[in-house]
Amino acid sequence: MDQPDRIIRLRTVLVRTGLSRSTIYRKIAEGTFPAQIKISIHGAGWRESDINHWIEDPASWRPRREGDEVR
């Protein structure tokens, strides 16, 4: 049975990737890092699976497109 995809917050993303906050947001703007998803009015996070895929191969990571299969 697959585990549900967790939502992780910025602090966890910083630790997992080793990137700075400004680098993460710059890379999101460039399209080379997973974008956040809104989880509440004032909160956002990342799908853990998106971060894991980025960590596996940051140079070739590309954002999901509509219709892409979820891994």
Between residues 55 and 4, the one the model is more confident about: 55
Domain that holds residue 33: 7-56
Distance CA 19, CA 13 (A): 8
Instruction: Please report whether residue 43 resides in a domain.
Output: yes
Instruction: Please report whether residue 49 resides in a domain.
Output: yes
Instruction: Please report whether residue 36 resides in a domain.
Output: yes
Instruction: Please report whether residue 41 resides in a domain.
Output: yes
In the chain, how many domains are there?
Answer: 1
Instruction: Please report whether residue 51 resides in a domain.
Output: yes
Question: Is 71's pLDDT higher than 50?
Answer: no
Tell me what pLDDT residue 30 has: 93
Instruction: Please report whether residue 52 resides in a domain.
Output: yes
Which segments of the chain are extended strands (E)? Answer: 7-8, 37-38, 44-47
pLDDT digits (tens, 9 = 90+) for 4-44: 789 999 999 999 999 999 999 999 999 999 999 999 999 99
Distance CA 49, CA 27 (A): 17
Dihedral of CA 50/53/55/60: which sign? negative
